[in-house]
Amino acid sequence: MFGKSLFHHLKILDMERKWLLPFIILTLICIAAIFAPVATASEESLKALNGADTAWMLVASALVLFMTPGLAFFYGGMVSFKNVVSTMLQSLIALGVVSVLWVAVGFSLAFGDSIGGFVGNPMTYFMFNNVTLGTNSALAPTIPLLLFALFQLKFAIITPALITGSFAERIKFSAYLLFIVLFSLFIYAPLAHWTWHPDGFLRKLGVLDFAGGTVVHMSAGFAALAGAVFLGKRNTLRNGHSSSPANIPFVVLGTGLLWFGWFGFNAGSALAANGLATSAFATTNFASAAAMLSWVFWDALNGRKISALGACIGAVVGLVAITPAAGFVTIGQSLFIGFASAIVCNVVVYVFNHKTAIDDTLDVFPCHGVGGMCGMLFTGIFANGVGLFYGQTTTFLYHLLALVIVGAFTFAGSYLLLMLTNAIIPLRVTAEEEVAGLDVSQHGEKMTSLEERISDIMKTNGKSNGTRVPVAVES
C-alpha cells in the first residue's frame, strides 16, 4: 500500500515538473517585456493615418479572431463525444501561445527586415519594439503598424489550430503545445515572409496570395498530412471501430462563425476600406455559397444523403479555395472556383477515407491542403489581367512552382518538427488514455451527455422525495 502511494506521489511530482520549463519561459518573456524599449511614431507616419481604413481593420481583426472559436466548434462537433473538450481546447489555446510568441519574435520573423527574402530579422520588432501607432510605408501605409501586426497575428493563430483536426483524438496536449511553437517559428513565419513581405522571394516572383492560400491553408494542410502520417491510425480504427460526430449543431454553429469571420479574413486583406475590400467580401460569400451547394449535390449524385455535415464542409472548402483569389477575380469567377473546388475536395476526401491508410481525422489535408492548392491554381488562371484566362502564362507557372516549394517545405519541415517534438515529449497518448478519451485523460473534464444529465436529475429528485431511483438509472 505504501509503495503504491509513493509511486502515485512521484508520478504527480514528475507531471508537475514537466510544466516547469514552459512556465519559466513564459515568466522570462513577460518580465523581459516590461523592460523592452518602446519606439514612438514619427509625426509624418501619424499624419498618414486614415480613419476609415483604421476603423475597418479593427473590425476585420476582430472578425478573424472570431474564426478561432468558430473553428473550435466546427472541429469539436465532428470528433467523438469523449474528445470534444480536448479538440476545442487545442484550437482555443493557440490564441494564448501564438499571441505571446508573436510579441516576442514571431512578427519579426514574418515581417522584419528581410534576410535574403526568406525570413525576417528577429530583432527588427523584437518584443514589439518599433511596432508603433504610426504607419509603415511598406507594410501598413494608412493604418497603424500595431494594427497591421494584430491583424496578421490572427492568421498566425488559426493556422496551427487548423492542423489539429488531422491528429485529433490521439495527441498529447503538452506535445501539441511544443509543436505549435516550433511550427509557428520555423514554418509559418518564413512562409508569411516569402509571400507577404515586400521583399519575400515568392512575392517578388509574382506569386499572388491575397489572404493565405499558401501561407495558411496549404501550410496547415501539408502539416496535417505530415501529422497524420507520423502519428498513424487511431487505435479505434485499428480495431475496426468508427465513431460518429458528437454534435452536428456544433459543426453548424462553427460553420456560421467561420463564414462570418472569413469576411474579415479576406476583405480585411485589402488593408483598407475601399473597393478592393468590397470585391473580396463579395467573392468570399459567393464562392462559399456555390461550394456548399456543389458539395451536397455531388454527394446526392453519388448516392449519399444530403447532410448538414456535408453542407458545412462544402461551405468551408469554398472559403478556403477563394482565399488566395478573393481580391483578384470577378464574382462570376468566384462562383466557379467554389463550385469546382468543392467537387475536387469531395473526391479527394472519398479517396483518402476509402483508398488509403492515412488517418487524417477531420480531413484537413483533403479540404484545406487541396482546397488551398485549388485556390492557388485558380488564382493563376483567373487573376485579373495576368492569369491564363487572359492569355498570360507567367503567373500560372510561378504558382505551380510555389505549390511545389510550399508543399515540400511544409510537409518535410513539419515532419522533422514532429520528430523533434516526439524526441522531447512523446506525441501520442497511451492506448489506455486514447480509449478513455482525451477530455478525461488530458484535462480531467468532459462534456456531459444528455443521459448523464437525466440521471443526475433523477437521482436528485429521488433523494429529495425520499424515493428509490431505479437501478438502471443509477448505473
Task: Identify the sign of the CA torsion 112, 114, 118, 121.
Answer: negative
Q: What are phi and psi of 353, to 5 degrees?
A: -80, -25
Instruction: Say what the pLDDT of residue 3 is.
Output: 54
pLDDT number for residue 450: 64
Domain with CATH 1.10.3430.10 in the chain: 46-442
Regions of the chain short of the pLDDT cut 70: 1-15, 238-242, 450-453, 456, 460, 462-475
Angle at 326 between CA 402 and CA 71, to 5 degrees: 90
The rounded distance, in Å, linking the Cα atoms of 254 and 266 is 18
Task: Cell 503598424: give the residue.
Answer: 145
Rounded CA-CA distance 107/85 in Å is 30
Nearest to 293 by CA among 277, 309, 311: 311
CA dist 51 → 40, 144, 177, 363 (Å): 19, 10, 38, 41
140 DSSP β-pair partners = 136
Q: What is the pTM of this model?
A: 0.93
User: Could you tell me which of 285, 313, 311, 316 has the C-alpha nearest to residue 300?
Assistant: 311
pLDDT at 454: 73
C-alpha cell at 263: 469576411
Q: Is the dihedral of CA 166, 162, 188, 379 positive or negative?
A: positive
Q: How far apart are CA 9 and CA 17, in angstroms?
A: 12
Please give the CATH architecture assigned to the domain spanning 46-442.
Orthogonal Bundle (1.10)
Hey, which bits of 240-350 come out as E strands?
Answer: none
What local confidence, expressed as pLDDT, does residue 475 receive? Answer: 31
Q: Which residues of 187-214 are buried (b: 16+ CB within 10 A; e: fewer)?
A: bbbbbbbbbbbebbbbbebebbbbbbbb
